[in-house]
Amino acid sequence: MQNIAPLNWRRFPERYLLRGSYCENCKQAFFPPRAICPNCRRKGKLVSMEMPRTGKIISYTKVYSPPEGFRNEAPYYLAIIELENGARILSQIVDSEPEKIKIGAKVRKVFRRIGEPDKYGTITYGYKFKVIE
């Protein structure tokens, strides 16, 4: 547990606040945060930025055979979401009626448990998204 918790906490701002990067040179937002702007490389000027909480689904899939740690949740929906600032993020869609999960649907960030507790009993929390009317 001692080895696990610090890692989770180190990633906490990214998972909880949805903190990404914004390049002041090309005005693009990125998530997860980048060390180097993929557009500008050395000329890029990245700053830390909290991502918007809402966006829309641009692609999604239903997962029937999830990886270890997510078996209890199957089947579930995984979507690529374009946030209000244009950054794209891969996330699970929860608390939404299946017929409302479609391309173009508006979604909002929620805070949920991620997967099942690991062998040390550590529970990880993070962002997921739900469809809003």
In the sheet that 19-23 helps form, which strands lie side by side, from edge to edge? 29-30, 19-23, 46-50
Q: Does 48 bind Zn ion (CB under 5 A)?
A: no
31/34 Cα distance (integer angstroms)? 7
Q: Does 79 bind Zn ion (CB under 5 A)?
A: no
Least distance CB 52 / Zn ion (angstroms): 19
With CB under 5 A as the contact rule, the residue among 4, 17, 40, 110 that binds Zn ion is 40
Q: Interaction with Zn ion in 9-28: which residues (CB under 5 A)? A: 23, 25-26
Least distance CB 45 / Zn ion (angstroms): 7
With CB under 5 A as the contact rule, the residue among 5, 39, 75, 108 that binds Zn ion is 39
23 Cβ partners below 8 Å, 6+ apart? 29, 30, 37, 39, 40, 44, 45, 46
Among all chains, which residue has been given the structure tokens 């040179």? 25
Q: Does 36 bind Zn ion (CB under 5 A)?
A: no
127/86 Cα distance (integer angstroms)? 18
Q: Using the minimum distance from each CB to Zn ion, give the nearer residue, 39 or 122.
A: 39
Binding residues vs Zn ion (CB under 5 A): 23, 25-26, 37, 39-40, 44
